Amino acid sequence: MTQRKRNIAIVGAAATALLAAGCGPTLIARSQTPEQSAVSMQVLPAVDRKAPVNQPIVIVAEDGTLAEVSVQGPKGLMKGSYNAQRSAWTSKAKTLDFGTTYTVNATATNESGNPTSLNRTFKTVNPQTLVNISSVSVADDTTVGVGMPVRVTFDAPVSNKKAVEEQLIVKTSKPVTGAWSWESDQVVVFRPKKYWPANTSIEVSMPLKGVKTSKGAYGAANSEITYRTGDSMVSVYDAYKHTMTVKKNGKVIKTFPATSGKPGFETRQGVKVISEKLDFVVMDAATGGTSEDDPEYYRLDVNWAMRITTSGEFVHAAPWSVGSQGYANVSHGCIGMSDANAYWLFQNSQVGDVVDVRNTGRPQDLGNGITEWNVSWKDWLQNSKTGPVQTESITSTT
């Protein structure tokens, strides 16, 4: 009887394409007994050169049982585990090293106990450039306001935006519809259609190690952050009424007299987000280009200041303008309140809370602070490669 030969299958979409083209690597596993056919074993990664690193090593015996698996990596034998049927082995390491050779030795037996052996060596991709996440707008294990988007900044341009975006996963303890959107080749931002729900746990998973970001460039590492939102605090300043109205979880709890930018120095109108809190700061008009000889020059010691634009708009205590608060706009662009009112708002607000400025006539310039909420949902989706998504569910930590 002639011994039967069976190719060891190579699994995965990439391998399927290679085999269809007739150029896939072919390995032959022969049974030691002519009367029995060889066990077919599959191996991932499925290519012998430039193998991806963003997956574990997996060996599967399709019609037999794995007797022994040995995988040699850069630090010696790799740890792994079998499934309950002992038909598959998966490495404990979920990602591999770049530019590294791995050697797989495996033995499987068929129903009669006859062994089939496999020996395979492959080398992983060796990037020209490793791309890192240089910053994320939210720190791990923090609490922020409901207006804080997730801004991910890379240290190199990304051209394969869809491939990167597909790897970014947002999970929440309350369902949220949102979308990633690219603000530049190096910045991608996730925001819900409307503000985050209050008191919600959020996980952002960024498994980008080995993901091709551009020609010759790959993600360097995987990362993850977990944080939560606090109560919903939305403060609305109306320049016509000269009032600041504070809503907590949708209910008005305070209304303060206030003042904003006078003609020529109007406060920008739009939805802003508190990005920084300073209990004391020296505000010097020279930092904005105003000469000390200019009648509009000022240098002031300011308490209870909360930044709402990069260019220098704050909500802060302004005891010098109490007589105008509630009646006129007299500042150089900031929103001013009495010491007591500014202190209360400072104590009850956090980074990420919303300040909605209305009726000033001067539009908010995008990018001057956290301004993502001033982009319509339709326009937001224009720069998304994967479109709107429903966040995956996690168990609340409350």
**Residues classed as catalytic:** 316, 334
Contact 125, 132 (CB under 8 A): no
CA distance 331 to 57: 63
Handedness of CA 50, 55, 56, 62 (dihedral sign): negative
CA distance 168 to 208: 8
CA 40 to chain centre: 40
Burial label, 323 (beta-carbon count in 10 A; 0-12, 13-18, 19+):
exposed
Contact 369, 354 (CB under 8 A): no
* Long-range contacts at 128-131 (CB < 8 A, ≥ 24 apart): 128/216, 128/217, 129/156, 129/214, 129/216, 129/217, 129/218, 130/98, 130/217, 130/218, 130/219, 130/220, 131/155, 131/156, 131/158, 131/208, 131/213, 131/214, 131/217, 131/218, 131/219, 131/220
* Concatenated DSSP letters of 99-113: T-EEEEEEEEE-TT-
Burial label, 346 (beta-carbon count in 10 A; 0-12, 13-18, 19+):
buried
Per-residue HEC secondary structure of 28-92 comes to EECCCCCCCCCCCEEEECCCCCCECCCCCCEEEECCCEEEEEEEEECCEECCEEECCCCCEEEEC
Nearest of 185, 151, 179, 149 to residue 166 by alpha carbon: 179
Nearest of 128, 124, 102, 120 to residue 51 by alpha carbon: 124
* Pair of tokens at residue 9: 């299958």
* Concatenated DSSP letters of 112-149: T--EEEEEEEEEB---SEEE-EEEESS-TT-EE-TT--
